[in-house]
């Protein structure tokens, strides 16, 4: 005897304006009580890079975008369980650790990977953050 599970609906997460629509990707996808975000870049709602050459300003913008996407999916930064942070300069880890403590203060701490890459989709970007959050 086999049990067939009903398909779980994949619900796209968007914002107004949706800064990734022109790229043909979703800001995030909600599946059941989980939300999976696309990498959130240091861009404003029109897609313009914020904080050119300023890692902390770019990280704050990427975190703000992440918060928007999670909130629009019914989640939040506080409900984030896993984050992957891509940076072009690993020496910025201390700066991000301070911002992480500010934006994710609750315990248990989120699971995180902090990865240096040679470049991101836009050469001006210094950081991109993707996450998985719970929807309560």
pLDDT single digits (tens) 32-51: 999 999 999 999 988 999 99
Question: Is the per-residue pLDDT at 14 higher than 80?
Answer: yes
For the chain, counts of helices (H) and of strands (E): 2, 6
**What number is the average pLDDT over the span 14-26?**
90
| pLDDT score for 22 | 87
Joined tokens for residue 17: 């304006």
Please report how the helices 93-103 and 55-72 are oriented relative to each other, as an axis angle in degrees rounded to 10. 40
Say if CB 130 and CB 117 are below 8 A apart: no
Instruction: Kindly report the pTM of this predicted structure.
Output: 0.93
Please give the Cα distance from 115 to 136 (Å, whole number).
29
- pLDDT tens digit sequence for 93-136: 999 999 999 999 999 999 999 999 999 999 999 999 999 999 98
Question: Is the per-residue pLDDT at 90 higher than 80?
Answer: yes
| pLDDT score for 1 | 65
Pairing of strands 10-13, 28-31: antiparallel
């Amino acid at each position: 005897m086999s049990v067939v599970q009903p398909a779980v609906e994949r619900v796209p997460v968007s914002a107004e304006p949706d800064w990734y629509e022109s790229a043909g990707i979703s800001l995030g996808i909600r599946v059941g009580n989980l939300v999976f975000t696309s990498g959130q870049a240091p861009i404003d709602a029109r897609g313009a890079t914020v904080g050119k050459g300023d890692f902390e300003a770019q990280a704050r913008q990427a975190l703000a975008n992440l918060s928007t996407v999670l909130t629009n999916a019914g989640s939040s930064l506080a409900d984030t369980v896993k984050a992957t942070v891509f940076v072009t300069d690993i020496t910025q880890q201390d700066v991000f650790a301070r911002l992480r403590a500010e934006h994710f203060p609750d315990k248990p701490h989120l699971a995180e990977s902090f990865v240096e890459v040679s470049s991101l989709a836009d050469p001006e970007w210094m950081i991109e953050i993707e996450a998985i959050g719970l929807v309560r």
